[in-house]
Structure 1
Amino acid sequence: MPKRRQKLKQRRKTLGYSQESFAYAVGVERSTVVRWESGETEPRAWHRPKLAEILQLSLDELDDVLAVSPANEADRLSFTLRNPSTVDLVTVAHLAQEIERLSAGYDTAPSASLLAAAGQCHSQVTLLYEFAPTGRIRRALAFSVAESATLMGQLIWDASQRRDDVVPLRYFDQAISAAREISNPLLEAHAQLRKGFVALYGTKDPSEGLRLCRETALVSESTSNVLTGLGHLHVGEAHAMLGQRRDCEKALHAAEVSFDRIRSDDEAMPMFSSSQFDRMAGSCYLFLGVNGKAEEILTRTARSLIQWKKSQSIVLGNLTLAYIRQGKLEEACGTLHQAIDLIEEPRGGGGMNIAFSAGRELAPWRHEPWVQEISDRLFGLMTT
């Protein structure tokens, strides 16, 4: 059960009001003030401007004064979900921390294992967002909706091994809508970039991916050099998929320029790693059929991704493809086994799909014992 609205009571007393005189000033019964202060009821929307005036507060400050104080966070959240109009900044901060915790586990835990908790958290912030009053609380909830919707899109797409394109796009669109409401280009660009990934790797539509990633770079241009650089990188990848080497290398150069301008206070810094450029450049040259150059870049990149298991599995899968296409089968066998080792831990959809592609390209050698061993491991991944 919530405790009393101590801040409301204290503010009333500080200004010299008894419950009776306060009720008279607001134009309600004393029993109404008693219920407000006990947390039993919530002041109606039409009472709030008058309350703010009498208590000499802004509407945002009034929201804080009207916040109830449950015994612990679980009680607070439970009470707020039953009474969404009582949402306060403390509850919003608690949910934001949970979203951050789940996002931090993305690279180390299987996406499917995070889905239930992430789905519950997203449902909670969405519910509270619908009931939130205008002002600071609604803006904070819009921020959390954008973050949690983007995370949900990532998790669902990853857990489906990049087969479900429809549901993730709905989440990304929800994130973009929430980000635009609070004029946050960083959150908007992140969700837009994720939509670009679906076009590039899911629906296999490089022209649409090119459009979305260009939009990412434009939206984030004045906000984040990290996201602008990532947008340019994937613009380059889209050009590579279309066989346009000159345009691809031009976009890679633009990405390098953006990355060189990154400052330590860039809010998208957690999305950046020093190996990002080489990882994508290697992928680009693989698409362009320049396999020797792709091998050189990807070999260097794989060594620098020890802590990024999902990314490392993608690099090793692409390196395997570069080896196969040059006839370096012994090297391909080694890197594909390493990729599968990593995929078995977080089960990242991207690495898994590339590993299966490499397995298919080994079909001409399917009677070789070492290829049969790889096929058995890939089959195990598919059936788990």
Structure 2
Amino acid sequence: MPQRRQRLIQRRKTLGFSQERLAHTVGVERSTVVRWESGETEPRPWQRPKLAAVLKISLDEVDELLTQHVNEEPEAERLDFVLRNPAAVDLVAVAHLAERVDRLNTEYDTAPSASLLADAGHSHSQVTLLHNFAPNGRIRRELCISLAESATLMGQLVWDASQRRDGAVSVQYFDQAITAAREVGDPILEAHAQLRKGFVALYGTKDAREGLRLCNETAIVSRNASDVLAGLGFLHVGEAYAMLGERRHCEKALGEAADSFGRIHKDDEALHMFSPTQFDRLAGSCYLFLGVNHKAEQILTKSARSLVRWKKSQSIALGNLTLAYIRQGKPEEACGTLHEAIDLIEETRGGGGLNIAFTAGRELGPWCHEPWVQEISDRLFALMAT
């Protein structure tokens, strides 16, 4: 059975790297670093010089880290000590907390948000505590990054778990993330939190003008830092214009989004936020708002089938596809896709999909006497009850 390479793990944490950040710096997937540390695989010969440079050690020392499995001080005990003595915070404790936040972020798209809230809130309070005591320098910088990431995650989870009702608390978390990101001059973290604030305006308060402003700010902040985030900003600018019924401006923004996505490089730090399906999903939503339902149907049909890995997003796409069917007088097709959306919502409890499903259920009202519509109604009532 493979043994964990504790010395490799300790070296990474001493330098303040999370698994994801080390992977990005070396130029591999996070799962590759996970396998290296678990003892399942070893770095390839051509990867070792880069790994040695990043870890600031020699190639011989890399070999030692890969072959020695020394039991180090338990991470939980070290973190407990630092939390009791915040002034003693070090990069090892910071990296341990950063990994917790990374793990929770990874789980976000597949697990019910309410199930993550307790762990995320606990980690966020710990990051906030240590940030308040951190000295200037690298430790504080790393904690600012973790604080921005955990605050953004908390905003997302509260927003989702409240079924998109608790926008005020979510915005407070996003503002905290923006402040932390600005402290270290990280436009990617800032733009991500700005984008999430835009979602609250677009889907919560239904203030399309405010959503337009925030999403445009996202595109501006990230323009020179991440084509992924700039593209996402432009996508939601397009959606805001669609909500306002301004098709020409909407399609111009969609074109800018497509241009940004076309420039994405493999080194983009926000690459993990990008999916090739995003453009079609949002373009379909735009045409749905604009009342061009046949075009929305065509785009969303393609998008929904491509979102298998992103269950919360897939439930939204299926919900919007349902609305496109209903508005063209296709209730039976609508019921089929709505059942699929509800299957995913029951699994993930995603607030966005849930709201769209209830909207679709109301729009099926003219066919309420049909038994297959009654079945949909029963499932929606069951969702309300839980």
Paired with 1:375 and 1:353, the residues of 2 have a C-alpha distance of: 14
**Alignment-derived partner of residue 273 in structure 2:** 271
Q: Equivalences for 1:141-160 in 2 at 5 Å? A: 141-160=143-162
- The aligned length equals 316
Q: CA deviation at 1:71?
A: 2.8
Match of 1:81 among 83, 92, 95: 83
Counterpart of 1:288? 290
How far the C-alpha of 1:368 sits from its partner, in A, is 1.6
Cα distance in 2 between the residues matched to 1:99 and 1:277: 27
Q: Which runs of 4+ in 1 moved over 3 A?
A: none
Identify the match of residue 110 of structure 2 among 76, 86, 108.
108
Secondary structure at the counterpart of residue 347 of structure 2: coil
Mapped partners of 1:83, 1:117: distance in 2: 21
| CA deviations over 1:157-199 (Å, ceiling 9, x no partner) | 0000101111000000000000000000000000000000000
Aligned mates of 1:72, 1:342 — CA distance in 2: 38
Q: Please tell me whether the aligned partners of residues 159 and 349 of structure 1 are also in contact (alpha carbons under 8 angstroms).
A: yes
- Match of residue 328 from structure 1: 330
Deviation of 1:241 after TM superposition, in Å, equals 0.0
- Give the letter for the 1:98 counterpart: R
- Asked which structure has the greater CA Rg, the reply is 1
CA contact (8 A) 1:232 1:254 kept: yes
Amino acid at match of 2:171: L
Indicate the residue corresponding to 1:204 in structure 2. Answer: 206
Aligned amino acid, residue 341 of structure 1: D
CA distance in 2, matches of 1:74, 1:336: 45
Residue 377 of structure 1 aligns to which amino acid in structure 2?
R
1:20-65 deviations in whole A, cap 9, x for unaligned? xxxxxxxxxxxxxxxxxxxxxxxxxxxxxxxxxxxxxxxxxxxxxx
Check if 1:350 corresponds to 2:352: yes
Deviation at 1:367, TM superposition (A): 1.9
Aligned: 1:222 with 2:215? no
**How many Å apart are 1:70 and its aligned residue?**
8.4
- What CA deviation, in whole Å up to 9, does each residue of 1:316-359 have, x standing for no partner? 00000000000011100100000001111011000000000000
Which residue is 2:121 aligned to? 119
The 2-side partners of 1:122 and 1:286 are apart by 37
Instruction: Give the Cα separation in 1 of the matches to 2:167 and 2:148.
Output: 19
SS in 2 for 1:223: coil
SS in 2 for 1:344: helix
Read off the aligned partner of 2:224 and give its amino acid letter: S
Task: Name which of 300, 309, 330 aligns with 2:311.
Answer: 309
Runs of 5+ unmatched residues, structure 2: 1-70
- Residues 70 and 76, structure 1, Cα contact 8 Å, conserved in 2: no
Cα offsets for 1:102-157 (capped at 9, x unmatched) = 00000110000000000000000000000000100000000000000000000000
Question: TM-score, normalization: structure 1?
Answer: 0.82
Letter in 1 for 2:146: S
- Say whether 1:72 aligns with 2:74: yes
Give the stretch that moved more between structures: 364-373 or 307-316.
364-373
Distance 2:370 2:332 in 1: 12
Task: Select 2:382's aligned residue among 361, 364, 380.
Answer: 380
Gaps of 5+ in 1: 1-68
Partner of 2:251, secondary structure, is helix
Specify the SS of the correspondent of 1:161. Answer: coil
SS at match of 1:108: coil
Deviations 1:242-301 (A, max 9, x none): 000000000000000000000001010111000110000000000000000000000011
CA distance in 2, matches of 1:109, 1:363: 31
How much has 1:215 moved relative to structure 2? Answer: 0.2
Maintained 8 Å contact 1:99/1:121: yes
- Structure 1: which amino acid aligns with 2:275? S
Question: Which of 252, 255, 258 does residue 253 from structure 1 map onto?
Answer: 255
State the partner residue of 1:213: 215
Query: Is 1:99 matched up with 2:72?
Result: no
Percent identity between the aligned chains?
Answer: 75
Alpha-carbon deviations, 1:68-124, whole Å to 9, x = none? x98311111111011000000000000000000000000110000000000000000
Give the whole-Å Cα distance in 2 for the aligned partners of 1:363 and 1:326.
14
- Could you say which residue in structure 1 is the equivalent of 2:4? none
Alpha-carbon distance in structure 1 between the residues aligned to 2:319 and 2:203: 14
CA deviation profile, 1:217-241 (whole Å, cap 9, x unmatched): 0000010000000000000000000
Give the match for residue 68 of structure 2: none
For 2:270, the aligned partner's letter is A
RMSD across aligned C-alpha pairs, in angstroms? 1.0
Distance in 1 (CA, whole Å) between partners of 2:73 and 2:181 is 33
Superposition pairs for residues 15-94 of structure 1, below 5 Å? 71-94=73-96
Q: Please name the residue that 1:194 is paired with.
A: 196
